[in-house]
Amino acid sequence: MLKIPRGTRDFTSEEMQKRRYVEEVMRKTFETFGYKQVQTPTFETLELFTAKSGDTIIEELYSFADKGGRDLALRPELTAPVIRFYVEKLQMEPKPLKLYYFGNCYRYDRPQKGRYREFKQAGCEIIGTDTAEANAELIAMAYKVLENAGVKKLVLNIGNLNILSSLFSQFKLTKDQQKYLIPLIDKSMFEDVFNALRDFNIKKEDASILTEILQTSDIKKIENLIMDEIAEKELQELKNIVSLIEKSFGIKNYQIKMSIVRGLDYYRGVVFEIEAPSLGAEKQLCGGGAYELIKLFGGKETPTAGFAIGFDRTILALELENYEFPNPTLDVFIIPVTEDMVEKSLNIAQNLREKGIKVDIDLLRRGVGKSLKYASSLNSKKAMIVGPEELEKDSVTIRNMKTGKQELKKISDILK
């Protein structure tokens, strides 16, 4: 038997119903914030993804040479593609440019629950502004998209990479030393961070300051620990952002978390992540922040920020929280009682469909009893029984599938 590739999934019609519902809610939320949808290709030139991250990223990609010998890759994310699109075609658009997208992404990850090789992202990019209000609105929108989709337990963590890098330069850490520290910070292994700093000959007090800043969510404490001017300015901006998030958007359950480093190489400045604790190991639902790619891709420098939500993980979180997804329903199931009734029944079905009504019809020529059973398995609200005696009176029997109540109705009245 042929099997589905590792890390990919098929979706049943019930799953697709849930996915479509969640996508619709997300789309509506993006649009209430003035974002407009764009779409980019599923594959891009490999260079688009190695330009910032270098060749090491190839390990994590589905990359290949096509028949013309071009090096291509299935997109692992959509930020680089959207910025490529912007630089190629959208630079003259009025700013800020607010773009959102849905798209499948491909990563050569080790699959597990919540982590796939093919997965879907819902994301957005805002181009042309880096005011506190732009960043606050972006972060609040990420939160609202998930909240409106129905996820109840969410944790929003906000950090700032410029503060971290100014501390790194204050302590004169080399690029290699920073590279060594980042994965440790990412995994919250703060003792190891401290020991590594000591190994790099950083004074005990300084090593403590850095590890303290990484661990506390008390903004005042961070303020007292910071000595560098750039970091102070960035912290003030962060304070403005969180104040807006709280006061204007009513989001209270956020935390300052300076240990957010983000996996991708293009971030600068404010960064954030949203978690659903119910998901366990793969609990990160959303990640984003401010980043720099435009200049690298040959465009005129302008600020950019964005985020992407793991669509599949959102569905998983909703399922774990027992979210009641709307049930798929059919408006009416039509049952021709005899073969002679088929033509008229198909015609009624077609007339109703043209009015946007969801109609199915018995295509197996089974009896009324079996058809009614099938209709209830389809969750049909009504059944329409088309029999010879009824037809003589230009009528049909309409059965309410919930109550079982039946009544004779004129076909012309139904179509009206």
Interacting residue with ligand HAM among 30, 57, 72, 125 (CB under 6 A)? 125
Q: Is 397 within 8 Å of 408 (Cβ atoms)?
A: yes
Under the criterion CB under 6 A, does residue 285 sit at the interface with ligand HAM?
A: yes
Compare residues 116 and 194 and give the one whose CB is closer to ligand HAM: 116
Under the criterion CB under 6 A, does residue 77 sit at the interface with ligand HAM?
A: yes
Residue 26: count other Cβ atoms within 10 Å of its Cβ: 22
Under the criterion CB under 6 A, does residue 104 sit at the interface with ligand HAM?
A: no
Compare residues 43 and 119 and give the one whose CB is closer to ligand HAM: 119
For the stretch 293-296, contacts whose Cβ atoms lie closer than 8 Å and that sit 24 or more positions apart, written own/partner, are: 293/52, 293/79, 293/80, 293/83, 293/266, 294/83, 294/86, 294/87, 294/127, 296/51, 296/52
Closest approach, Cβ 183 to ligand HAM, in A, equals: 15
Under the criterion CB under 6 A, does residue 144 sit at the interface with ligand HAM?
A: no
- The DSSP code sequence of 58-76 is GGGS-EEE-TT--EEEE-S
Number of residues that bind ligand HAM (CB under 6 A): 24
Under the criterion CB under 6 A, does residue 123 sit at the interface with ligand HAM?
A: yes
> What is the H or E stretch that residue 184 is in?
helix 175-186
Residue at token pair 């699109």: 85
Q: Is 158 within 8 Å of 150 (Cβ atoms)?
A: no
Under the criterion CB under 6 A, does residue 109 sit at the interface with ligand HAM?
A: yes
Exposed / middle / buried, residue 92 (Cβ in 10 Å: 0-12, 13-18, 19+): exposed
Compare residues 165 and 284 and give the one whose CB is closer to ligand HAM: 284
Compare residues 267 and 333 and give the one whose CB is closer to ligand HAM: 267
Under the criterion CB under 6 A, does residue 351 sit at the interface with ligand HAM?
A: no
Under the criterion CB under 6 A, does residue 44 sit at the interface with ligand HAM?
A: no
Closest approach, Cβ 409 to ligand HAM, in A, equals: 50
Sheet with 380-386, side-by-side order of all strands: 359-361, 330-336, 380-386, 395-400, 406-410
Closest approach, Cβ 111 to ligand HAM, in A, equals: 8
Note the residues at the interface with ligand HAM (CB under 6 A). 77, 79, 107, 109, 115-116, 119, 121, 123, 125, 263-264, 284-288, 291, 306-308, 310, 312-313
